[in-house]
Structure 1
Amino acid sequence: MKKTLFAALLFTASALCAQDKAINVGLKVAPAFSWFGISHKYSESDGVKAKCNAGISVLYNFHENFSLVTGVNINSIGGKMKSTKDAEILKQAEKSKISYKATELELPLLIQARTDQYGSMRYFMKAGFGIGAVLQARDSEKNKIQKKYYNTALTSYILGIGAEYEVARNCAIVGELRFNGGISSFTRSKNWVKDFGVKEFRSRCNFLELGLGVQF
């Protein structure tokens, strides 16, 4: 599924590159570290998981130094969680750890501000929000998670800083450090309460990625 989606992104990029240079198109691959932020009395985050994301960005340059940024990202999200020592639901510590992973199709909407060009370099920062659709989710045993236990639509806030290195006219290598912080809960709390008796089990997906790509 990821290969098909990325092929579609490449086709879209080729089509958009023919447009006026008020629009720039970028492609990226981004190693990432993902983890859960958990709001629950008897559970807590148990570390990060290494992931790899990919995406296409479209920049509408409404000013020399400012752009509206959107696009499509394929994010691998998830993390590890465990019950705390005083957990009432899971009595045995060896059974209290589990990890989840999911594939998310994200549509970001950001404002980017960048510096004037110094030699071949420009520097930028961006901020905004993302809305994502979870395509599939699995647990640490590679079992599919029933959709009633997680939300298929997620929202997040996005912060990023980076640099562009111009290698040719209208072509630059781009590096970016980006943080994506979950706003909505990955777990669907009401069904966890109903089926397992837990209280308000909310977990937000966060990730930090280091992207490397090309921009036309």
Structure 2
Amino acid sequence: MTAPYPAAATEPEADGPIVLALPKGRILAEAGQLLARAGVEPAPDYADEDSRRLRFPTSDPALDVIRVRPFDVATFVAFGAAQIGICGADVLMEFDYSEIYAPLDLGIGACRVSVAEPRDTAGSDDPQRWSQVRVATKYPNIARRHYAARGIQAEIVHLNGAMELAPGMGLSRLIVDLVQTGSTLKANGLVETEVIAKVTSRLIVNRSALKTRPEAIGAWIARFRAALAGTDKAAA
């Protein structure tokens, strides 16, 4: 289901700096390299997880950076609090905000949304015979859609972390989670049994901001596109 854009959402600032929402965690370093290729240098403490600041100026006075939780990037952009952002495709799949436009696949943060279950029981039953299944996940919409397409009702146990514990503790039969190397699954006695979607990070844009500030937003899209292409135009 497409997430509606609330009528009371914040309007993008008409003449202030463009705000870029970046995700905390593992993608931040890769995003920093991309920013550098685009000719942008945020304040030094933007990558410091101990910094209490959440909004940072950059070497370009037309751009500020905010650092938020990965799942919140899409929300900040959809509601107009940030005009652009860098967001994993998994988050876009989960929330499906109608006010978000994703013009560029940045090719960073590569991972996948996968199904995993205990090694000891994997393959012991044919999923095509299931009518329902209990799933632990932080992606309830993705999980429901995935199993509904197969005629299976997914009973969701919504967790925000430690998903790998759920099958062994009797919370669920399997999990749907983000997987990068699979080492955490292996350490907890789970195996990856199905890939639902391959994931990379995208440049996302607030549609209203694109309409009200087309030159400014369009210029940033062009700079990121040039950075991806490795051209000197990125810092122009």
Per the normalisation by structure 1, the TM-score is 0.32
* Higher strand proportion (structure 1 or 2): 1
